[in-house]
Amino acid sequence: MKKVILIFGVLSLLVFIRPVFGMNASSANVQTTTTVAQMEDETSESFFAEAVNGIKQFYSFTGFANAQSGNILMIFIGIVFIYLGIKFDYEPLLLIPIGTGVILGNIPFVAGYQTGIYETGSVLNYLYFGVVKGVYPPLIFLGIGAMTDFSSLIANPKLMLLGAAAQIGVFGTFLGALYLGFSLPEAGAIGIIGGADGPTAIFLSSKLANGINILPDGTTVKNLIGPIAIAAYSYMALVPVIQPPIMKLLTTKKERLIRMKPPRAVTQKEKMIFPVVALLLTTFISPSALPLLGMLFFGNLLKESGRTERLADTARTKLIDIVTILLGVTVGASTQADIFITKDSLMIFGLGAISFVIATMGGLLFAKFMNLFLKGEDKLNPLIGAAGVSAVPDSARVVHAEGIKADPHNYLLMHAMAPNVAGVIGSAIAAGIILSFLG
Amino acid sequence: MTHIFLMTDTITEGYIILITGLSIVFSGLLLLTLFFKFAMPVMLYVYKIITKGPDKKIKEISPKVNDQFTGEIAAAISAAIHMYLNSQHDHENAILTIKQARKMYSPWSSKIYSAYRNRL
């Protein structure tokens, strides 16, 4: 250790002594060549003035000089996201990367040095490629497929209809966006927020509202990926806040007390057949949703086949984690203030909130409607309709919590998972339909 | 993809997409529901028949074939199975693992390097 200090000391002494012996000729040359442009006309100025100039130039490159109120506002929002994620545990795996991304994307910088996410060639721009081209969402779906247990859905297939009913949120929002003056593809991308499915929303908006496509009237569509993704993810995180009041409003105390019979045991054979058959049926109906549904059921087959546990394990842990990190940060960073803070974003946020409300109401009311035809033990607890908005598994958890509040011994989680995963399938099909109509 | 409803205004087109889209989503998931409600049990049943042949009903099993098989034999078999299943712990693993107490020398684990670590 002493030797190291000794050597370091000698070296640093040499470095400092060099100018004294006139050995700095080479380094001085380098300095003059680099700053020759500025030095030429002000060689006579004093050392002090030059230093001040340098500091001024440096200052013009810092964030302090370039900051605009929009940047500060977005950075504040990013910090709020991180706070919400940590303090209230609202989807921290999403909100913390997105919050950090929002801060990253809004650090003020001088344009033209390949720094920002929208500048071609910057590192963030390369990572953002996966969002713009819709690469990340299918990979996330692969992981979701490898995580999801469809057995409660196989045991009670009629719950699949609740997942379809909640998609009314998608189409309702789509119509609302049209009335607010968005063009058709933009409205389609905004509508999918009602699917309560982050990856699907990013996938569809990257195809429809990416700022590249040309509309029939000759104008290009707006780039709405950032606002849509942020709206979808933040409302997904806020499901525990949005849904309970609507659930209480639309169900009576008696309905909330309904106990459903436990789902039957599902054989492994059925679980293996499910992904294959569901893949065939859904993609034949809606081929545009192929990247999403294909990966979802592929992941599920990896899980259920019993032979590819290694692949399933990677898909549901490491792979989905990696993609979530990249997706979260880049989606967050895409909210660069000059592009994000517009009237459109505000309207998208408003529409997003409405879409969640419509979707929840659609699910609840359809469950009540189904109850008209069901008798005795088969009756559904209408609360599980609210789980039809996908937001896996948060909305199922909210349903469970509400059920527990009404009757401490009524465990709805297993039942709520069925419309929940059906909602994922439903919103992917809906995305495919919108894409085939408007793509 | 082609734009289908170019002639109509956007709101009308929106309603058309709303209705058709919702009905397609519903019919898609309804199809899945019907498949898993009705077609799947049939498929599983057919598969079972193909692989194992249909299950015999009790009345189809002729008692004459099995008149040698008395209750005593059944009792003896079940007792044997019971004893076998409960006596497995008698067969203990005969292989004992002897761990070598003294490790072979290796410079990687040599104590001398850690003792003089501070001397560079």
Read off the pLDDT of residues A408-428 as tens digits, 9 standing for 90 and up. 988 899 899 999 999 999 999
Based on the fold, state whether residues A77 and A58 are members of the same structural domain.
Answer: no
The whole-angstrom separation of Cα B17 and Cα A208 is: 15
A189 pLDDT more than 60: yes
The total domain count for chain A is: 2
Angstroms from B114 CA to nearest CA on chain A: 15
Confidence of residue A319 (pLDDT cuts 50, 70, 90): very high
CB contact under 8 A, B32 and A184: no
Residues A29 and A161 in one domain: no
Task: Look at the block and give the residue holding tokens 């950075």.
Answer: A75
Average pLDDT, chain A: 87
Instruction: Measure in Å the smallest separation between the Cα of B71 and chain A Cα atoms.
Output: 34
Quick one: A59 and A155 in the same domain?
Answer: no
Lowest-confidence segment of A16-30, A331-345, B75-89 by average pLDDT: A16-30
Whether residues A77 and A62 fall in one domain:
no
Tell whether A154 is within 8 A of chain B (Cβ): yes
DSSP B54: P
Residue A66: pLDDT band with limits 50, 70, 90: confident
Which of A3, A426, A438 is facing B120, going by the closest CB pair? A3
CA distance A316 to B55: 40
Boundary of a domain, candidates A17, A47, A66: A66
Name the closest residue on chain B to residue A362, using Cα atoms.
B22
Question: Of the candidates A432, A434, A167, which has an alpha carbon nearest to the alpha carbon of residue A286?
Answer: A432
Domain containing A156 equals 72-438
The question of ipTM being above 0.90 is answered as no
3-class SS string, chain A: CHHHHHHHHHHHHHHHHHHHHCCCHHHHHHHHHHCHHHHHHHCCCCHHHHHHHHHHHHHHHCHHHHCCHHHHHHHHHHHHHHHHHHHCCCCHHHHHHHHHHHHHHCCCCCCCCCCCCCCCCCHHHHHHHHHHCCCHHHHHHHHHHHHCCCHHHHHCHHHHHHHHHCCHHHHHHHHHHHHCCCCHHHHHHHHHHHHCCHHHHHHHHHHHCECCCECCCCCECCECHHHHHHHHHHHHHCHHHHHHHHHHHHCCHHHHCCCCCCCCCCCHHHHHHHHHHHHHHHHHHCHHHHHHHHHHHHHHHHHHCCCCHHHHHHHHHHHHHHHHHHHHHHHHHCCCHHHHCCHHHHHHHHHHHHHHHHHHHHHHHHHHHHHCCCCHHHCCCHHHHHHHCCCCCHHHHHHHHHHHHHCCCCCCHHHHHHHHHHHHHHHHHHHHHHHHHHC
Give pLDDT, residue A244: 94
- Report the pLDDT value the prediction gives residue A90, as an integer from 0 to 100: 80
Percent of chain A with pLDDT over 90: 59
Distance of alpha carbon A308 from alpha carbon A47, whole angstroms? 70
Yes or no, beta carbons of A282 and B15 under 8 Å apart: no
In total, chain A counts a number of residues equal to: 439
Query: Computed from CA positions of residues B32, B33, B34, B39, in that sequence, does the dihedral angle turn out positive or negative?
Result: positive
A-to-B residue pairs, Cβ atoms closer than 8 angstroms: 109
User: A163, A375 in Cβ contact below 8 A?
Assistant: no
**Which pLDDT score is estimated for B92?**
65
- Residue A293 sits at the chain B interface (C-beta within 8 Å): no
| Residue A68 CB coordination number (10 Å) | 13
Report residue A210 as tokens.
Answer: 């990416």
Which residues on B lie below 8 Å from A437 (Cβ)?
4, 17, 20-21
Q: B66 to chain A, minimum CA–CA distance in Å?
A: 33
Residues A203 and A308 in one domain: yes
At B8 the pLDDT is: 62
Report long-range pairs for A368-374 (Cβ below 8 Å, ≥24 apart).
A368/A250, A368/A251, A368/A255, A370/A158, A370/A161, A370/A162, A371/A255
pLDDT exceeds cutoff 70 at A1: no
Is A174–B18 a contact, with Cβ atoms under 8 angstroms apart?
A: yes
Read off the pLDDT band of A275 (50, 70, 90).
very high
Distance between CA A401 and CA A184 in Å, rounded?
38
Half-sphere exposure of A262 (CA within 13 A, CB side): 4
Q: Which residues contact A147 (CB under 8 A, 6 or more apart)?
A: A299, A303, A316, A320
Closest residue in chain B to residue A428, using alpha carbons only: B25
- In total, chain B counts a number of residues equal to 120
Residue A190 to chain B, least CA–CA distance (Å): 13
Integer-rounded Cα radius of gyration of chain A: 28
User: Do residues A130 and A198 both lie within one domain?
Assistant: yes
Question: What mean pLDDT do residues B24-46 have?
Answer: 90
Same domain for A130 and A22?
A: no
Check whether residue A283 and residue A320 sit in a common domain.
Answer: yes
Contact criterion met (CB < 8 Å) for A437 and B4: yes
**A143 and A115 in a common domain:** yes
Chain B interface includes A273 (CB < 8 A) = yes
The dihedral region occupied by A31, where left means phi > 0, alpha psi between -120 and 50, and beta the remainder, is alpha
Residues A76 and A61 in one domain: no
> Based on the domain organization, do A134 and A44 belong to the same domain?
no
The predicted pLDDT at position B91 comes to 63
Amino acid at A63: G
The average pLDDT across A189-218 equals 89
Give the residue with greater pLDDT, B105 vs A152: A152
